[in-house]
Amino acid sequence: MVAANGAAERQESGHPETKWELSPRFARFAFRTNKGVAIFEPPGRVRYLQTIWVAMRTWNKRDSGTDSQIVLIVHEEAPRDSASDIVHHTFASTSQDDQEKGQANLYDFEPDPSPLMDAYLSDSSIRVAIRGSDMWRPEVIAVWGVGPVRWLDAREETAVPLGIETDIETVLSTDKGEGNVSIGIRRAYVAYGDMPIQRLLMVMRTEDYKNAGTDSPIQLRIEVPGGSTTVYDIPDTPQKEQERGQANLYFVPVTSPFTWDDLDSGGSVTLRIGGSDMWLPDSFFLFGLDEASDRPRNMVPLVSEPEWLHGKMSQDPAEDDKEGFVELPLAPLPF
Query: What is the average pLDDT across 224-246?
Result: 95
Question: Is 84's pLDDT higher than 80?
Answer: no
Lowest mean pLDDT segment, chosen from 32-36, 201-205, 314-318: 32-36
What pLDDT, on a 0 to 100 scale, did the predictor assign at position 48? Answer: 79
Is the pLDDT assigned to residue 34 strictly greater than 50?
no
Does the pLDDT at position 27 exceed 50? no
Q: Could you give the domains of the chain?
A: 1-41 (no CATH), 44-190 (2.60.60.20), 197-328 (2.60.60.20)
- Read off the pTM: 0.86
- The pLDDT of 37-43, averaged and rounded, is 41
**Measured CA distances, 92 to 89, 96, 172, 292 (Å):** 9, 11, 18, 33
Q: What residues have CB less than 8 Å from 232, skipping those under 6 apart?
A: 200, 202, 219, 220, 221, 250, 252, 253
pLDDT of residue 102: 98
> Which of 216 and 1 is assigned the larger pLDDT?
216
329 DSSP 8-state letter? P
Q: Give the Cβ contact number of residue 285 at 10 Å.
A: 24
Residue 111's pLDDT is 87
The reported pLDDT for the residue numbered 148 is 82
Average pLDDT over residues 128-156: 87
